Structure 1
Amino acid sequence: MIELPYLLKHENICRLEGGNILIGDRRVFPFEKRFEVCSSVAQVAQALRSMVTQGGGPLEVALQTMVFVTRQMQSGDLPSGFSTLADAADQLIAARPTNTTMQRTLQGLLAQVRMFASDPDELAQAVGRQVQSILDGFDRLYHQMGRMGSTLLDQDSVVLTTCFAEHTFLLSLAYAQESGKKIRVLANETRPYLQGSRLTAPSLEEMGIKVQVVTDGMGATFLVEGKVDAYMTAVDLLCMDGTVVNKVGTLSNAIAARYIGVPYYAFSISPDQTKQGRDDVNMEMRSPKEITRCMGLPTTLDSIGGLYPAFDIIPPALVTALVTPKGILKPEQVKRSFQ
C-alpha cells in the first residue's frame, strides 16, 4: 500500500487547533518538525509570503483559513458577512500571486457558499463541507495523475527533478516502483530554500525510493553524460498555450533535456484559463536578501545585492508532455482539452 510521506499528510500541511491555524514549517524540515502558529488571516498571509509552506501547501492552508474565518465569525471575533470571507481570500491570494491555483480555487469556493452568507452558522457549515469536498477531490486527482505519470517511466529510470513537486510526482515514482520498476532520483538542492535537498530527498527516502542530491548547476552535466532518463517537475502555473511556470532553475534543465533528447514531463492539475501565454504571467520577484543568505547564513558581503525571480517561464516547445486529469497531453492539446 502506498503511503504519503510526513510532509504531504493533511495534518502536517496545516490544521486547525483551538483558535489557531498551525502550518507545517517547511523552512526547518527535516531537521525540525515545527509548526507556525497563526491566529489571524494577516498572520497566515505573512506565513505564505515568508515561505513557511510552498508548492501545493499554500492552497491547503488557504482553504483551511476559510474554515478558520467562518469559525471566528461564529464566535464574534470577526464581523459576520460575506465581505469578511472575501477579504480574507483577497489577502491570501495577494500573498502568492504567481501560483493562481489558489486564487481560482478560493474564488470558486466563494461562489459556492455566497448563498449562505446571511447566516454565520450556515455559512460555516457550507464552507466546511465545500473545503472537505475540494480536498477529497484533489486527493483523488493526485493518485489518478500519479498512476498516469508512472507509465512514462521505463523499467530502469533515473529521474531528474527540480524543487518539491509534491503529490503527483512522488506518487508517480511510488506507483512505478510498486509495479516493479527500478527508480532512482537526482534531486536539485533548489536554492535559496533548498526544497530539493530538504523536502524532496527526505520524502523520497521515507517512501523507499532511491535519491541523491545534486546542486542546481549539475543537471546539464548528468543529462549530457546520459545519466538521466526523464526530467519531471511540478507546474506552479500552466498557461492555455502549454507554457509552464515553475521554480527558477527549471528552464535551464528543460533546455538541456531538449538538447540531449531527454523527455521533460510536467504535472498540472489544470491550466489557468485567464493566462493565454507568457505575456499574461505575473512574475514574482522576491527580495534579493533571500539569495545572499542560505539557511540563515550569509553567502556574500552585506554590501552586495542580488536578483531573485522566483520562477522560470518554460516555453511549450521544451515540454514533452503534461500529466493532467484530462490525460497525458502535448502542450498544444491543453487549450482544447480544458475549454
Structure 2
Amino acid sequence: MNQSPLFEPALWEDGRFKILDETLLPWKTEYIEIRDVAQALEAVRSMKTRAFGQVLTFLYAAALAARSAKGKNSAELKADLVQLAERFAEARPTFDFKGLAGYFLSWFNESPATDDAAGWIEKKIHELVATIFKAREHRAKLTAELLPDPCRLLTHCNVSGELVAMARHFQAMGKKLSVIATETRPYLQGSRLTAWELAQAGVKVDVIPDCAIAQVMARGEVDAVVVGADRSARNGDIINKVGTHPIAVIAGQYAIPFYALVQDPGALESGAAASIEERPSAELFHLQARSVAPEWAAAISGRYPAFDVTPAALISRLIAFDQVYTPEAFRGKFQRNGAAPQEKKGAGGNSLLVYGVPKRASYAHLAHALKAEQSQNILLPEMRPHLRGLHVVAREMSAQSVPFQIISDNMMGTFFAQGQIRRLYLFYAELDAKGPAGICGSLLAVLLARAHGVPVELLAAETSETATADQDVSTFMGEKVSPDGAGLYPLEREILPWSLFKQDGGK
C-alpha cells in the first residue's frame, strides 16, 4: 500500500517549494509553485492547502524568508519570522502559527556563534520537518494498535494522509479496516480527499452526508471514531473542522469510542479561549471556485464557522505524537496549576432551527414563532443529500419573507453548543408506532436538541417531493464530487423513537 500524496502535501525542491492544490482533488493532481511568502500566504488563505499542508507551507515559507535574509543579523531575522507568523495567523486565525514559530525563537537561543544565522535557521527548519514526518508515522501506528479488529471506522474531514498510513499499519498487523467518511461540507474534504486517498490505497470506504452520522451509529455500523485536530488545548479540548463536536456528542450517546489525533497544545488553556475562524458564507455555494447556487439564491444569507470545539469530556483518548493519553492524563501533563477544564457557556439562543420540509401553510406559523420566541431568524440546514433546505425550504422562506440563514448540516452541533438555538422545529414525513419518521438528518437534529436541553416541536412535513439535482452524495448541485472507487452508504428513512419526546412532556 503506497503512501498518500496528502501525507506530504508540500515538497521542497531546489530552494523553493510546491504545494498540492487540494481544491482540485480528486479531479486533478496539480502542484502550485511557491517562490515567495506572499504566494504561500495566499495558498493558505484560499484553502489550497490546509491541515498538515499549512504546517509545511508555514515552515517552508519561513525557510524562504531565511534564504532571502542572508546578510541580516539575528535580531532582524527573528523580527521577520515573528511577523511571518502574525501574517499566517491573520490568514487562518484558528491554527496556532504563533506557537509553531516558538521553534524559531528557541533556535536563535541555541544558534552557534556564526554570521550565517539564516543558514542555521533554514537547516533547523528542514530537521523539524523530518522529525514531524516520523512523528506522524508513529502516531498512525499508535492509532492502528488502539483500534479493534475488525474495525468499522467513522471519520470526518481529512487528516492529511494519516488514515492511509494507519491503514498500512492495519495491513501489516493483519487487521481489517473499513471506513465511513462524512462528505464534510462545505469544502467536501471527506469525499474529495479522504474517500479519494483511501480508495486509491485499496481501503474500503463509503461516503455519507454529514447529517447521517446519527443514522450510521444508531444502526450499529460504527466501532470507533477517529478525527484530527487543528489545535488542542491544555485541558484536553480539541478544535477541529466544524462538525466534529456533534460526532462526539452522538458517539457518546451510543457508547462508541471517540479518538482525536493531536499535537502539543502550546499555551492554549481551553477550547473556549480559541479564536474560531468565520469564513465567507458564499463559500457554502461554491465548488472549485465557481458558484453553484441557484440563480434565485444569490442574495441569501448564510453562516460558515470553519471550526468547532469538542470538550475533553466527549473524548475517549487523545493520540499524540509520543503516546496515547486519556483526557485526564493529557491535562496532568500540560495543564498549569491543575486548573479545571473551562466550558464555554452560550447566552440565551436567538435563533430557531428548522429541519425537514414544512407544508406551505406552516411558513406563517414559523414567522409567528419567530415573534413569539423573540428570535432573530431561522437557521436552515442544507439537508443533504437532496439539498432540500436550499432548493425547497429556502425558496419558500424567501418568498414569504421569513428571515433565515443557510448553514451546512454539520454546523447544527456548533450552534446548539453555543446556545444559539431556542427551539427545534422538526417536520416529520409520517407517524408510526415506533415514532415519527423523517428525512436523513432528523435523528441527528433531535439528538442534538436533547443533548443541549433545547425543546423540540413536531410538525407534519410536506408530502409531495420537489425534484432536485442531487439524489445522493455522489453529486453536489448536480456536479460529480464522489471519487472513483468510493462507495455510497445506503441511507434509510429515520425513525425518531417516542422516548426522545417524553423527556420534557412532549414540548
Structure 1 length-normalised TM: 0.89
* 8 Å contact from structure 2 (residues 245, 309) kept in 1: yes
1:294 aligns with 2:325: no
Partner of 1:221: 215
CA distance in 2, matches of 1:284, 1:17: 34
| Conservation of the 8 A alpha-carbon contact between 2:26 and 2:192 | yes
Tell me what 1:111 maps to. 106
Gaps of 5+ in 1: none
Task: Note the C-alpha offset of 1:319.
Answer: 0.7
Q: Which residue of the partner structure matches residue 84 of structure 2?
A: 88
> TM (normalized to structure 2)?
0.61
Partner in structure 1 of residue 271 of structure 2: 278
SS at match of 1:23: strand
Instruction: Give 1:71's match in structure 2, choosing from 59, 67, 70.
Output: 67
Query: Deviation at 1:236?
Result: 1.0
Taking the aligned partners of 2:207 and 2:88, their CA distance within structure 1 comes to 32
Deviates more, 1:243-252 or 1:173-182: 173-182
Two-structure CA RMSD over aligned residues (Å): 2.4
The answer to whether the 8 Å contact 2:235/2:334 transfers is: no
Conserved? CA contact 1:8–1:166, under 8 Å: yes
Preserved contact between residue 149 and residue 323 of structure 1 (Cα < 8 Å): yes
| Cα deviation digits, residues 25-48 of structure 1 (max 9, x gap) | 100012112222343322321221
Residues paired across the two proteins, number: 330
> Aligned partners of 2:112, 2:80: CA distance in 1, in Å?
10
Q: Which amino acid aligns with 2:212?
A: M
Where do 5+ consecutive residues of structure 2 fail to align?
Answer: 336-507
Matched with 1:5 is 4
**Structure having the larger proportion of residues in helix:** 1
Q: Secondary structure at the match of 1:246?
A: strand
Change (3 A) 1:17 1:136: closer
- 8 Å CA contact retained: 2:10, 2:17: no
Deviations 1:59-111 (A, max 9, x none): 111111111112223399xxx744333322321232222121x3322222233
Does residue 152 of structure 2 align to residue 158 of structure 1?
Answer: yes
Q: Is 1:138 equivalent to 2:140 in the alignment? A: no
Q: Using a 3 Å threshold, how does the CA distance of structure 1 residues 52 and 117 change in structure 2: closer, same or farther? A: farther
Q: How does 1:1-339 map to 2 (within 5 A)?
A: 3-9=2-8, 12-16=9-13, 21-74=17-70, 81-100=77-96, 102-113=97-108, 122-272=116-266, 274-295=267-288, 296-300=290-294, 301-338=297-334
Structure 2: distance between partners of 1:318 and 1:218: 19
Percentage identity across paired residues of the two chains: 28
**Contact kept in structure 1, 2:19 and 2:49, CA below 8 Å:** yes
Counterpart residue type for residue 63 of structure 2: V
Please tell me whether the aligned partners of residues 81 and 101 of structure 2 are also in contact (alpha carbons under 8 angstroms): no
Give 1 or 2 for the bigger CA radius of gyration.
2
Give yes or no for contact 2:157–2:182 (8 Å, CA) kept in 1. Answer: yes
- Superposition deviation, residue 241 in structure 1: 1.1
Q: 3-state SS of the aligned residue for 2:207? A: strand
2:408 is aligned to none
Deviation by residue 1:281-331 (Cα, 9 ceiling, x = unmatched): 111111111113233232341110110000011111211111113421111
Query: Could you tell which deviates more after superposition, 253-262 or 142-151?
Result: 142-151
Larger CA deviation: 292-301 vs 145-154 = 292-301
Match of 2:346 in 1: none
Instruction: Return 305-314 or 292-301, whichever deviates more.
Output: 292-301
CA distance in 2, matches of 1:37, 1:136: 21
